Amino acid sequence: MKKFTKAIIFFLAVVAPLLIVTVALRKPAPDHAQLEKLRAQYPARHQSGVDHSKMEILQQDFKNPHQITEACLSCHTERGMELLHSSHFTWEREAFIPGRGVTYLGKKNLLNNYCTGVQSNEGSCMKCHAGYGWNDKAFDFTNQLNIDCVVCHDNTGTYAKATGGGGYPVMGEGGPDYKKILGSMGLPKSENCGNCHFLGGGGNNVKHGDLEMALLKAGRNVDVHMGVDGAHMNCVDCHSAENHQMKGRYYGVSSTNDQRMSCEECHTAFPHQKSILNEHSIKVACQTCHIPVYAKVNPTKMYWDWSTATRKKDGKGFEEKDAEGNVTYASIKGDFIWQKNVEPEYTWFNGTADHLLLTDKIDTTQAFVKINTLNGAYRDRNSKIIPMKVHRGKQPYDSKNLTIIQTKLWDKEKGKGALWLDLEWERAIVEGMKYVDMPYSGQHGFVATEMYMPVNHMVSVSSEALSCKECHTREEGRLATLTDFYMPGRDRNEWLDLGGKLVLLGSLFGIVVHAAIRIMASRRRKLAQQHKA
């Protein structure tokens, strides 16, 4: 009996704590079963059921691009109708926005703080429109023959639209080799998407920061999905489409929480081994931790100041470049600031957004006028923290009417008021505002604006994901600006901490004083005893 008791005590005192410590410090081996499945799934290349080079109708000599569309639609009879309802063609979406009602907004009519907007500049901007001939308001959005099928489905990588051609390709001599191109037609490649989406804002990586030409050749260290030494995925592997409705939203132009692309579709909502990380996913988007920096290869534009545009040297416009060859000043555009390996800014986002319209009055007392607003808050059940690129700048506004100005930037020829050709603000503003039917008071200024663009690409390898301390830290953490909730490690009540410290110091002080008196009293007693003796 005694031995048994001793054995139990020994177990409780020695073995049990050892067991607990061992179990506690054990690190589970990472389970990559899910990832293995995904890896097996995605490298499989799409095998087309049709060889377009065997289609006689595609081997004819086309007189104009509209005839190509006609040939496509002769087999793909319903695809034209789909395209007429696709935002790649309409450049607008029907959306309900609280406070505005049903709106028809999109790249067609919205503002931004890069080139400020497409209106009055269609001839140039529509190089990226999936159509032919959008030069002005007269463009017919109901004519299926105005659709450009080739720009997205060319698999040779040789089709190119003309500069300033309103969406038409180069015509006649030097035009595309249609026999070869049409024979290759198939699912869009990343190059097709990239020709517009990588070059937005007027050059490689200018606009998004996380979408650029380097993605076509970079490794997993830049983008874990598209990396050529990894799964080497295409844009459309994730941005799948049904009836030409692509999944994925860009909230510089979108407003509603639907048709979004999400990591969870492949990776599930709780993909981590550690439950404490999975719990984060309730309020933190995957991208927040897994995209620690963007613009990893080439710099992106972070700041664009239009107010300095139109300066001349020797009566002519000019450009200045920095040591890396980035244009830092251009007479036609103003001053730029470029950045590489940028840490995103963060915000709560529930998938809905609002936009500043040309007709909206702006509040110039704000530090920055918001070109778009991403809705969300800690207490909003649909909101998660997301990373975003914030593009700031100064752009022209009507200082009397307090509206943002649509400027005419481009024209085919000089003398029509286009800023980029004539380098004169007043006329460019008058022409731009006339085009959009907005009043112009005759007085313009430049107002600071900012635009919010969620960052979703350039996902890093898991070992580079953010560590706890990047956010759970007292000062200058990544989430320092999101103050509508309590985060352990970042937040505290300074009075409580001060009070706590005082209690501890007070206790120590009391102990020291008490002990000192005890020691002194005991010495005195000993001395007194010695005296007696």
DSSP 171-204: PSTT---HHHHHHT--SPPHHHHHHHHTSTTTST
Options 41, 240, 366, 522; binder of another protein; rule CB under 8 A: 522
Phi, psi of 94 (to 5 degrees): -85, 125
- Report the alpha-carbon distance of residue 196 to residue 88 in Å, rounded: 11
With CA atoms as reference, report the closest residue to 349 among 482, 438, 231, 478: 482
Options 137, 282, 319, 412; binder of another protein; rule CB under 8 A: 282
* 521 contacts another protein (rule: CB under 8 A): yes
Options 18, 276, 367, 533; binder of another protein; rule CB under 8 A: 276
Contact stretch for another protein (CB under 8 A) within 67-75, 164-172, 199-207, 512-520: 512-520
Residue 8 vs 75, nearer CB to another protein: 8
Options 135, 143, 328, 473; binder of another protein; rule CB under 8 A: 473
Residue 15 vs 57, nearer CB to another protein: 15
Options 3, 13, 173, 315; binder of another protein; rule CB under 8 A: 13
* 533 contacts another protein (rule: CB under 8 A): no
Residue 43 vs 510, nearer CB to another protein: 510
Q: Would you say 324 and 317 are in contact if contact means Cβ atoms under 8 Å apart?
A: no
Residue 17 vs 442, nearer CB to another protein: 17
Q: Helix H segments across 76-116?
A: 79-84, 87-90
Site string for another protein, 19-48 (x = CB under 8 A): -x---x------------------------
- Report the alpha-carbon distance of residue 35 to residue 47 in Å, rounded: 23
Element (H, E) at 40: helix 33-41
- Closest contact distance (angstroms) between CB of 174 and another protein is 56
In whole angstroms, how far apart are CA 72 and each of 80, 143, 193, 322? Answer: 9, 14, 20, 47
* 474 contacts another protein (rule: CB under 8 A): yes
* 493 contacts another protein (rule: CB under 8 A): yes
Options 7, 57, 75, 511; binder of another protein; rule CB under 8 A: 511
Options 51, 265, 279, 324; binder of another protein; rule CB under 8 A: 279
Q: Which structure tokens are listed for 449? A: 């604006």
* 468 contacts another protein (rule: CB under 8 A): yes
Count of other CB atoms within 10 angstroms of residue 497: 10
* Residue matched to tokens 């503003």: 429
Q: Would you say 391 and 304 are in contact if contact means Cβ atoms under 8 Å apart?
A: yes
With CA atoms as reference, report the closest residue to 114 among 451, 340, 367: 451
- Closest contact distance (angstroms) between CB of 384 and another protein is 10
Contact stretch for another protein (CB under 8 A) within 332-340, 360-368, 393-401, 500-508: 500-508
In whole angstroms, how far apart are CA 229 and each of 215, 235, 381? Answer: 12, 16, 38
Q: Would you say 428 and 420 are in contact if contact means Cβ atoms under 8 Å apart?
A: no
> Is 327 buried (19+), middle (13-18) or exposed (0-12) by CB count in 10 A?
middle
* 509 contacts another protein (rule: CB under 8 A): no
Contact stretch for another protein (CB under 8 A) within 73-81, 198-206, 230-238, 271-279: 271-279
- Closest contact distance (angstroms) between CB of 281 and another protein is 9
Q: Would you say 197 and 252 are in contact if contact means Cβ atoms under 8 Å apart?
A: no
* 532 contacts another protein (rule: CB under 8 A): no
Options 138, 173, 488, 530; binder of another protein; rule CB under 8 A: 488
* 507 contacts another protein (rule: CB under 8 A): yes
- Report the alpha-carbon distance of residue 213 to residue 288 in Å, rounded: 23
Q: Which structure tokens are listed for 340? A: 């590489």
* 513 contacts another protein (rule: CB under 8 A): no
* 497 contacts another protein (rule: CB under 8 A): yes
Residue 249 vs 490, nearer CB to another protein: 490
Q: Is 361 helix (H, G, I), strand (E, B) or coil?
A: coil
Q: Helix H segments across 115-230?
A: 122-125, 150-153, 178-183, 190-197
Question: Which spans of this chain sit near another protein (rule: CB under 8 A)?
Answer: 5, 9, 12-13, 17, 20, 24, 269-270, 276, 278-279, 282-283, 378-379, 381, 467-469, 472-474, 485-493, 496-497, 499-501, 503-504, 507-508, 510-511, 514-515, 517-518, 521-522, 525
